[in-house]
Amino acid sequence: RVIVLSYFNASWYIDQMRRKVNKSDALPISLESRQYQQGGLNDILPFAENPNIRGAINLNRFLGLVRTDNRAIQVSMSGNTKYNSIPSRIFVLDVDVEKVRKGKLVPAEFQDTVIEKMEISWEGNYMEKSAFLVLDLIATNQWNRPIYFNLTSLNSISLNLKKHVLQEGLVYRLLPIELQEEDAIDVEKMYENLMKKAVYHDLEDEDVYYNHEDYQLRILQTTKSNYNDLAMQLINRGEEGKAREVVEFVYSKLHGKNKQTDLASIQTAELLFRLDEKGRAEKLTEILFENASQMLKYQYDNDRLNSTITQIQLYIIKQLYNTATKYNDVKLAEKCSKTFDLYFSLL
């Protein structure tokens, strides 16, 4: 079931999510209808610090207080409107580790990151109903159905979940793990999803037009970055053959006359150098330089140098200089240095 988080604040939408649709079972949400209706106690949940509560609070126990309309967590806001409040910045969820291990939910290489108590912190002065319902869903689901976030929802929701997710392609799976660093990848699943299951027929047609804001910036650049990250992980694991397949796809399918070069393209060039594809790497860096320098000239000619676009192009030139220097492309390094100095001096 796909959940649109911006709709997940509306009671009519939550009602739909709590019903079975075709083969998609109802979402496991413990709150009753009256507890998420508009104008109720859970429209928003303000943070209300309690001196008697230190550290994390148990998520299931807190949900129990909400379900029973416990007055201990209710606070009055402007106009004497009452809401349920949250007395801590951190929720803790008990994890049935034995169930998780038996179900083989977590890849073998991440088994040592499985935790008995999962801490979920949150930000802001109040929590929206949509985020609170996601917490309810996580607790009530008990890892029976997989829960995924796309990049936008993972970054926009007020819950800090990035150390509890593994990337499997264009989506991130929530798991009862705690990572030391963010941006971890389930390499095998990501390779399977991106290289064997994903289909991009229109990318092969260079007559298709992709506008900047919706496709070039939000979709194509992100897609390139995902493939680049996968290739980098494969190289680090010593799987150079698979890494070459991935970089070949990025180079041949995600670059072309109808696709803009961008920050992700620099990483692709770096990967080509690492895989001893010097000819292709130099061709891509030359295209990156020409596109960036042409855009800078356009910005200057139209008195638009003081813009975000200029900053991005200068950053690309600077990164190209670093790459050219690293891989001994003296000619490109000189061009990048002169171009950067020229336009930076004009700002």
Measure Cα distances from 341 to 321, 334, 336 in Å: 12, 11, 8
Q: What's the whole-number average pLDDT of the chain?
A: 95
What's the confidence (pLDDT) of residue 107? 96
Span 243-257, pLDDT tens digits: 999 999 999 999 988
pLDDT digits (tens, 9 = 90+) for 304-342: 999 999 999 999 999 999 999 999 999 999 999 999 999
Whether pLDDT at 53 is above 90: no
Using an 8 Å Cβ cutoff, are 149 and 171 in contact? Answer: yes
CB 197 within 8 A of CB 171: no
For residue 338, list its beta bridge partners. none
Position 80 confidence tier, pLDDT thresholds 50, 70, 90? confident
pLDDT of residue 91 exceeding 90, the answer is yes
Nearest to 65, CA basis, from 31, 16, 29: 31
The encoded tokens of residue 111 equal: 């088994």
pLDDT, average across residues 94-110: 95
- Residue 297: helix, strand or coil by DSSP? helix
**Helix/strand/coil (H, E, C) string of 228-263?**
HHHHHHHHHCCCHHHHHHHHHHHHHHCCECCECCCH
Mean pLDDT of 158-187: 96
Q: What whole-number distance in Å separates Cα of residue 215 and Cα of residue 222?
A: 10
pLDDT classification of 79: cutoffs 50, 70, 90: confident
Question: What mean pLDDT is predicted for residues 149-176?
Answer: 96
Count CB neighbours of 25 within 10 A.
12
What tens digit of pLDDT does each residue of 131-147 get? 999 999 999 999 999 99
How confident is the model at residue 200, as a pLDDT? 84
> Which residue in 67, 86, 81 sits closest to 126, CA to CA?
86
pLDDT for residue 276 is more than 80: yes
